[in-house]
Amino acid sequence: MAAVNVTDDEFDGLIGDSDVPVVVDFWAEWCGPCKQMAPHIDAVSEELAGEVKVAKIDVDANPIAPSKYGVRGMPTLMIFKGGKLAATHLGAMSKQAITDWIKQSV
């Protein structure tokens, strides 16, 4: 399953109602590293389908969730388990690094 785009309105429900950990990619249209990482995020979402959910949130269009979790730089990845923040990574990563980070964090 490909990564899903979420809005501020959907964010709390997504992370709170999930029975598996949720990986959230906080990104921005103007962010070069975010664009480079986007295909990796989608590939990891496909590979780890069933183990985690992967969501993307555009920080410019949806400022509430990034502000709530202190996102200051892009790209930022966060993992939520049971509705609570479990891990954070700031900066671009390769596909393998993303996969390894998720597996170590969940």
Q: Is the pTM of this model over 0.75?
A: yes
Q: What is the per-residue pLDDT across 66-96, written as a single tens digit (0 to 9) for each?
A: 999 999 999 999 999 999 999 999 999 999 9
Which CATH superfamily groups domain 4-105?
Glutaredoxin (3.40.30.10)
Residue 22 has pLDDT above 90, yes or no: yes
User: Which amino acids are annotated catalytic?
Assistant: 31, 34
Whether 55 contacts 25, CB under 8 Å: yes
Q: What is the structure's pLDDT at 2?
A: 81
Which H, E and C letters describe 49-98, residue by residue?
ECCEEEEEEECCCCCHHHHHCCCCCCCEEEEEECCEEEEEEECCCCHHHH
What region does 83 belong to: left with phi over 0, alpha with psi -120 to 50, or beta?
A: left
Question: Does residue 4 surpass a pLDDT of 90?
Answer: yes
Task: Please state the rounded mean pLDDT for residues 57-71.
Answer: 97
Q: How far is CA 68 from the centre of its chain?
A: 15
